[in-house]
A and B are shown apart, each in its own frame.
Chain A
């Protein structure tokens, strides 16, 4: 069983559309994250949820809205997609507090045309 799974794996969409990416972890972890990796391969944190509560919200356009229905799921909804949103988005989870490792999903490659 995949520990952190993301769907879809690939997403191609037109500018202006609204899309969602889903993430699920079966590790029983309390904290989940969304990361964005741009074309220069730089990984940047976007959001973090701990037990369904938003605890980290980096400088991200408010077109991006995370939602955590329960602590095993963290979804990312993006409104009015722009060309610059094209990137690979990674979901991650951890038991928390630095003394545990982080587990990443395999990524969702979003292409906005």
Chain B
């Protein structure tokens, strides 16, 4: 699975939008872009994923660049509960051998 690059940390204020970037310049055509987050003392939590088109769900939006070499996770209104480590991960589709390979992720701090 191709690698991703994320900033080590980001900060935001409560109720403001947060844009978490992820670079994946070696992405292949069958790689899905997944985002997970891990709140303190909890297991990783699925946030969103996509292949080519932008995606929205109740938690967040995923904006995927046209060349697919980067993506941005958008939290529309950050809350204190969104403070977590956010992981951007690529997984190859079409195989049962896919696996989530976690990097360092981005530590998001949300200020009241």
Contacts and interface: CB of A to CB of B under 8 A. Distances in A.
Interface of A: 30-31, 33, 35, 41-45, 48, 50, 55-56, 90, 92, 96-99, 101-107
A45 B99 contact: yes
Contacts of B96: 30-31, 50, 55, 96-97
Nearest to B93: A98
B85 A98 contact: no
Contacts of B42: 106-107
Contacts of A33: 99-100
Nearest to B44: A104
Counting contact residues on chain B (CB < 8 A from A), the size range is 20 to 34
Contacts, number: 65
B34 A101 contact: yes
Nearest to A31: B96
Interface string B50-79: 010000000000000000000000000000
Given A98-B93, A101-B49, A106-B42, A43 B102 contact: yes
B86 interface: no
Contact of A45 (B34, B85, B101): B101
